[in-house]
Amino acid sequence: MRFADRIVDITTRPMPLRTLFFRKLFQRCPIGSYTTRLSSGAIDRPHYGLCMLNAALEAKALGYNAMTVVEMGVAGGNGLLCLCRHREEIQKELGMEILVVGFDTGAGLPPSTDSRDLLYLWPTGSFEMDHDALLKRIAGRATVILGNVAKTVASWNPRPDAPIGAIMFDLDYYSSTIPAFGLLEKSNILPRIWCYFDDICGSFEHAYSDGIGVRAAIRDFNLDSRRFELNDHLSLAYAFKYSPPEAWHQLIYVYHRLTHPEYDTCLSDQKHQLQLA
């Protein structure tokens, strides 16, 4: 985008300029608690932070000392590094261990003949990873698993004491997202898994619909009667009551496994009480 176009874009957004300014400021110079900055949107990729934090709170309330967060589709690695930054802050606030794991082919988007993969948008080989450079940046902070998603997801399991609590889906293709849902079939998961889907809406010209891409993958996953539904979160307006609605609010989903042995376990020991006015 040209500089002049950038100025017009920024100055005509519904969000006030002061909000944009202070968000950027607090991202660079963190002030206050992580949860306060998150609820104000003053962190990088707040959708990643929201999913990770709520999964960590759920895990802690259920008595776990560790949990696992997964990114499906690492590409260049900026998202994985962002997860690592969120992980460091959430671990400090909650005092629990968070493992970060990324899945990717390493070679970019694979060849496909499935029209549901939005082939009109994604050239084969897009989003190739610089594996060596990324490994240096994430050393000791995250794990990257390379290979065909259908095979790597099937053969991988989270550490026994660290159930999967959140998944960031960014695989672009229908045919890649369907096998990635195998993570939701694992036995070692939390009762509710917080999910972010990068590719269910986008630019007008992308022409997303329920019959193609990731939206179709979610639909087909939910049509299988053996599973419980993966649905969009309906309460984000309350979580971000001091911020205007943003596009990413539509991209947060939660998977509920009602058959999980801990699904009905209450996450709070404080009874709700309303005083007589």
What is the full per-residue pLDDT of the chain (277 aa) written as tens digits?
576 666 656 555 666 555 555 456 555 666 667 777 777 677 888 889 999 999 999 999 999 999 999 999 999 999 999 999 999 999 999 999 999 999 999 999 999 999 999 999 989 999 999 989 999 999 989 999 999 999 999 999 999 999 999 999 999 999 999 999 999 999 999 999 999 998 887 777 778 888 899 999 999 998 876 667 787 665 555 555 545 566 666 788 999 998 999 999 999 888 888 888 8
Which residues lie closer than 8 Å to 90 by C-beta, 6 or more apart? 34, 49, 52, 53, 56, 98
CA atoms within 13 A on the CB side of 44: 15
Q: How far is CA 46 from the centre of its chain?
A: 10
Please report the sign of the dihedral spanned by the C-alpha atoms of residue 100, residue 105, residue 111, residue 114: negative
Residue 173 near residue 109 (C-beta atoms within 8 A): yes
Burial class (CB in 10 A: 0-12, 13-18, 19+), 62: middle
Which residues lie closer than 8 Å to 144 by C-beta, 6 or more apart? 74, 80, 101, 102, 103, 104, 131, 134, 135, 138
pTM recorded for the entire structure:
0.85
